[in-house]
């Protein structure tokens, strides 16, 4: 099982600190942002302690190809209402791909975007336009993993069909994959109780080979709520047994699973949740 969580990258140790945090959780992979997700301020790659981080990863059998970068939330390729927002999204995403290339990671998770009341078709076409602009000259050797979304507000990417539309209409489909978020697809209306059926549908519509990452999260909302509120494993509407089954599903055993569950009393729950998955036994960590 390739399992980890979102980790921070801050303080004097930067990416080295991210690796240390992941190891403290008993993880063998992790996901990080190359800077704050809500702004464009970025430290130079030379300040991130990348080589020290890679050395520690090698010592502890963390494979860099399984390490995930998440693009900042402020990137919205679907925006047609404000041209400057679209241009910022394109330019900043180009920079993020360059940073991933410089660090050596090969998976960048991206929220497809929100159409901001311009309509789904308009938004989808704008995302395709943005992806084409970003990917046409990129030095990035990895792939962008478009994340499945809950359908909150005007979010796009809420169905496998929408994700497939983006991939199949982009000029560079070989550069695109998918990040499947369990909370998001549950909130979008998918029934996770038979996950193999979900994988069959994914394979039929998109192609299972494009599944690059799984975000393993429970949901605070009922199926189809379109709200996107993550819950800790076993403490939401999906339930531990289903999520544990997904984590151990043989068909996606080589796909990194990343926890993005909420902190409890200001503390990360990931060590306990990873331990639960390793032992396949639920414990109520809120108690």
- Radius of gyration for the alpha carbons in the chain, expressed in angstroms and rounded: 18
Task: Please tell me whether 215 is known to bind a ligand.
Answer: yes
What is the chain written as a DSSP string? --EEEE----TTTHHHHHHHHHHHTT-SEEEE-SS-TTS-----GGGS-HHHHHHHHHHTT--GGG-EEE--TT--TT--S-HHHHHHHHHHHHHHHHHHHHHT--EEEE---B-TTS-HHHHHHHHHHHHHHHHTT----SEEEEEP----TTBS--SHHHHHHHHHHSS-GGGEEEEEEHHHHHHHT--TTSHHHHHHHHHHHT-GGGEEEEEE-EESS-TT-----EE-TTSSSS-HHHHHHHHT-GGGTTS-EEE-PPPBTTB--HHHHHHHHHHT----TT-
Q: How far apart are CA 151 and CA 61, in angstroms?
A: 37
Q: How far apart are CA 180 and CA 77, in angstroms?
A: 19
Task: Please tell me whether 181 is known to bind a ligand.
Answer: yes
Which residues are bridge partners to 178 per DSSP?
A: 146, 211
Task: Please tell me whether 226 is known to bind a ligand.
Answer: no
Task: Please tell me whether 111 is known to bind a ligand.
Answer: yes
User: Phi and psi for 222 in degrees, rounded to 5?
Assistant: -70, 160
Binding-site sequence positions for Zn(2+): 70, 111, 147, 181, 184, 215, 228, 230, 260
Binding-site sequence positions: 70, 111, 147, 181, 184, 215, 228, 230, 260
């Amino acid at each position: 099982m390739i399992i980890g969580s979102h980790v921070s990258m801050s303080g004097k140790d930067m990416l080295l600190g991210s690796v240390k945090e992941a190891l403290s959780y008993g993880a063998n992979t992790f996901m990080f942002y190359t800077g704050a997700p809500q702004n464009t301020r970025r430290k130079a790659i030379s300040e991130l302690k990348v080589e020290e981080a890679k050395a520690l990863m090698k010592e502890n059998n963390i494979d860099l190809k399984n390490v995930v970068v998440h693009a900042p939330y402020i990137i919205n390729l679907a925006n047609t209402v404000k041209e400057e927002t679209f241009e910022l999204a394109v330019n900043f995403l180009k920079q993020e791909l360059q940073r991933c290339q410089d660090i050596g990671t090969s998976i960048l998770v991206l929220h497809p975007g929100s159409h901001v009341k311009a309509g789904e078709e308009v938004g989808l076409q704008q995302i395709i336009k943005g992806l084409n602009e970003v990917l046409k000259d990129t030095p990035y050797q990895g792939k962008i993993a478009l994340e499945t979304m809950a359908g909150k507000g005007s979010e796009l990417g809420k169905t496998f069909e929408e994700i497939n539309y983006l991939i199949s209409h982009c000029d560079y489909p070989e550069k695109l994959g998918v990040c499947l978020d369990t909370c998001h697809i549950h909130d979008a209306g998918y029934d996770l109780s038979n996950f193999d059926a979900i994988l069959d549908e994914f394979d039929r519509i998109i192609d299972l080979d494009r599944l690059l990452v799984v975000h393993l999260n429970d949901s605070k909302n009922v199926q189809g709520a379109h709200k996107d509120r993550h819950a800790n494993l076993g403490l939401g509407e999906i339930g531990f047994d289903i999520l544990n089954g997904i984590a151990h599903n043989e068909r996606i055993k080589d796909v990194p699973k990343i926890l993005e569950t909420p902190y409890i009393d200001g503390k990360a729950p990931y060590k306990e949740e990873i331990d639960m998955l390793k032992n396949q036994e639920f414990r109520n960590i809120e108690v």
